[in-house]
């Protein structure tokens, strides 16, 4: 069988898609990574005339903005900024670790800098001494800095008061390999310790210690807001979870003897065991839990 290499000045999208599918299949085989997917936002005028937009690809934790363009008549009216804000929202929704862009020195370098991008490296050798800049914006850094400060604050209090605790929820999932954006910090403590810690954190309480029940959880809960970071203090021994598949409530008690010591935000802390974390996330099976399960199990396979 003879193979030929053919040049195509105007390749069809369904043909270039075959190349992407081949790359994705290799990534799945080598790293168990999910396939990448394209995205696009458009500025449309009457009769669906396109006056601008941005497009790119989401792959392996990277949100790559390949193209960004706004018609000359709309420049200076914040349309470019709005496009990038929508793109960043989508990047968060897809749990991307960072956004990547590139631009020539005569294009949009200052624009991207104002949006919080930093230069990663530059490439020389283009015609007329032009320079291409490669920039990135880390999506989790600012949130992690806020979470880190809140985490150190609450752990210091728990240790000072000698309260048994373990890290659970989304933060524990991050520790075990999930890349999902951290929303709150979940910490399990014995129910009889709520009265001990309450006075220490009273200025930050947004939900007073009480029995809380929703469609998934039935537990003792207190919620704190420390400088914009939410912290859920959860009861350890009298918690119930609702099994999504049987619609029945079942006990889910913390066993502190099974906690695993892990490093989190530069300090060693007890964390719910991976097995217990995966167990309850598979049972309650919310979309965020299934994302965590998939990414944790993928990370475990790679080690």
Per residue in 253-279, pLDDT (tens digit) is 999 999 999 999 989 999 999 999 999
Which tens digit of pLDDT belongs to each residue from 20-55?
A: 889 989 888 888 888 999 999 999 988 789 999 999
Given a contact cutoff of 8 angstroms between Cβ atoms, the answer to whether 157 and 151 are in contact is no
Kind plus residue range of the DSSP H or E element containing 99: strand 98-104
Q: Mind listing the pLDDT tens digit for each residue in 172-199?
A: 998 998 877 788 999 999 999 999 999 9
Give the integer Cα–Cα distance in Å for 92 and 98.
9
pLDDT interval class at 143 (50, 70, 90): low
What proportion of the chain, given as a percentage, has pLDDT over 90?
A: 70
* Stretch 275-300: mean pLDDT: 90
Q: What is the CA radius of gyration of the chain?
A: 24
Domains belonging to the chain, first-starting first, are 13-139 (3.40.630.30), 142-302 (3.30.460.40)
Q: Distance between CA atoms of 225 and 205, rounded to whole angstroms?
A: 6
Closest CA to 297 of 34, 35, 95, 59: 34
The pair of three-digit structure tokens given for residue 144, joined into one six-digit string:
């992690």
**What is the mean predicted confidence (pLDDT) over 199-207?**
95
**pTM of the predicted model, to two decimals?**
0.60
Structure-token pair, residue 94? 């897809």
Residue 281: the pLDDT is 96
The sign of the torsion formed by the CA atoms of 265, 183, 224, 251 equals negative
What CA–CA distance (Å, rounded) separates 117 from 111?
Answer: 9
The per-residue pLDDT for range 61-87, each reduced to its tens digit, is 999 999 999 999 998 889 999 999 999
pLDDT digits (tens, 9 = 90+) for 149-174: 999 999 999 999 999 999 999 999 98
Q: Which pLDDT score is estimated for 17?
A: 87
pLDDT at residue 302 tops 60: no
Place of tokens 């991307």: 96
């Amino acid at each position: 069988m003879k193979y030929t290499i053919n040049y195509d000045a105007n390749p069809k999208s369904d043909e270039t898609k075959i190349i992407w599918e081949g790359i994705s299949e290799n990534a799945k085989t080598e790293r168990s990574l999910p396939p990448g997917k394209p995205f696009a936002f458009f500025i449309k005028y009457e009769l669906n005339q396109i006056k601008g937009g941005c497009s790119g690809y989401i792959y392996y934790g990277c949100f790559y903005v390949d193209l960004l363009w706004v018609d000359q008549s709309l420049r200076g009216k914040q349309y470019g900024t709005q496009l990038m804000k929508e793109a960043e929202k989508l990047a968060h929704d897809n749990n991307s670790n960072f956004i990547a862009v590139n631009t020539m020195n005569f294009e949009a370098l200052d624009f991207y800098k104002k949006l919080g991008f930093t230069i990663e490296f530059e490439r020389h050798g283009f015609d007329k001494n032009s320079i291409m800049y490669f920039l990135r914006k880390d999506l989790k850094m600012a949130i992690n800095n806020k979470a880190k400060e809140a985490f150190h604050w609450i752990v210091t209090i728990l240790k000072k008061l000698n309260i048994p605790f373990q890290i659970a929820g989304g933060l524990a999932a991050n520790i075990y390999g999930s890349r999902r954006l951290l929303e709150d910090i979940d910490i399990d403590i014995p129910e009889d310790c709520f009265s001990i810690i309450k006075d220490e954190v009273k200025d930050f309480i947004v939900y007073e210690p009480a029995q809380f029940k929703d469609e998934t959880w039935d537990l003792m809960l207190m919620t704190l807001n420390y400088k914009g970071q939410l912290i859920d203090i959860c009861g350890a021994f009298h918690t119930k979870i609702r099994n999504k598949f049987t619609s029945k409530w079942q006990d889910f008690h913390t066993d502190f003897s099974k906690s695993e010591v892990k490093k989190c935000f530069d300090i060693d802390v007890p964390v719910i065991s991976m097995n217990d974390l995966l167990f309850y996330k598979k049972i309650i099976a919310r979309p965020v839990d299934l994302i965590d399960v998939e990414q944790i199990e993928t990370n475990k396979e790679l080690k």
